[in-house]
Amino acid sequence: MQSADVSDLQRYTDSVTRLGREAGAAFVSVAPALIMHRAREVLIARKAQGLSDTMEFTYRNPERSTDPQRSVDGAKAVIVAALGYGSDTPVSPSGPHGSVAQYAREDYYEKLSSALRVMRDKLRADGFRALDFVDDNSMVDREIAWLGGLGWFGKNANLLIRGAGSMVVLGSVVTTAPLKVWREVEPDGCGSCRVCIDACPTAAIVGDGVIDARRCLSWLLQKPGVFPIEYRAALGERLYGCDDCQETCPENVRLLPTRRMATARESWTPILEVLNEDDESLDRRVKRWYVPGRDVKVVRRNALIVLGNVGDASSDEVRGTITRYLRHDDELLRAHAVWAARRLGLSELLSGEDKSELVMSELRRDHL
Site of interaction with ligand SF4 (CB under 6 A): 154-156, 190, 193-196, 200-202, 204-205, 211, 216-218, 242, 244-245, 249-251
Determine contact, residues 352/217, Cβ cutoff 8 Å. no
Minimal CB distance residue for ligand B12:
209
Question: What does 159 bind: ligand B12, ligand SF4, none (CB cut-off 5 to 8 Å by kind)?
Answer: ligand B12
Catalytic residues: 135
Residues ≥6 apart with Cβ < 8 Å to 220: 227, 228, 231, 235
Which string of DSSP letters, residue by residue, matches 177-235? S-PPPP--PPPP--TT--HHHHH-TT--EEETTEE-TTT-HHHHTTS-SPPPGGGHHHH
Contact partner, 249, from ligand SF4, ligand B12, none, Cβ < 5-8 Å per class:
ligand SF4
Question: CA 42, CA 296: separation in Å to the nearest integer?
Answer: 32
Residue 299 contacts residue 291 (beta carbons within 8 Å): yes
At 272, the amino acid letter reads L
Question: Least distance from C-beta 233 to ligand SF4, angstroms?
Answer: 13
Give the Cα separation of 157 and 155 in Å (integer): 5
Residue 48 CB, shortest distance to ligand B12, in Å, is 12
Nearer to ligand B12, 31 or 168 (CB): 168
Instruction: Tell me the β-bridge partners of 83.
Output: 169
Q: Are the beta carbons of 286 and 240 closer than 8 angstroms?
A: yes
Nearer to ligand B12 by Cβ, of 6 and 42: the residue is 42
193 binds, among ligand B12, ligand SF4, none (CB under 5 to 8 A by kind): ligand SF4
Residue 42 binds which of ligand B12, ligand SF4, none (CB < 5-8 A, kind-dependent) = ligand B12
Q: Which residues contact residue 13 at a Cβ distance below 8 angstroms, ignoring those fewer than 6 apart? A: 30, 179, 180
In the DSSP assignment, the letter for residue 31 is E
User: Which secondary-structure segment (H or E) carries 14?
Assistant: helix 9-22
Distance of CA 343 to the CA centre of its chain: 28
What CA–CA distance (Å, rounded) separates 200 from 215? 10
Q: Select 15 or 54, whichever has its Cβ closest to ligand B12.
A: 54
CA angle 357, 233, 322 (to 5 degrees): 55
Nearest distance from residue 107's CB to ligand SF4, in Å? 20
Cβ distance to ligand SF4 smaller for residue 87 or 156: 156
Q: Nearest CA to 66 among 50, 44, 83, 47? A: 44
Interface residue list for ligand B12 (CB under 6 A): 38-39, 42-43, 46, 55, 57-58, 101, 103, 134-136, 139-143, 153, 155-159, 166, 168-171, 208-211, 213, 216, 218-219, 222, 241-243, 245-246
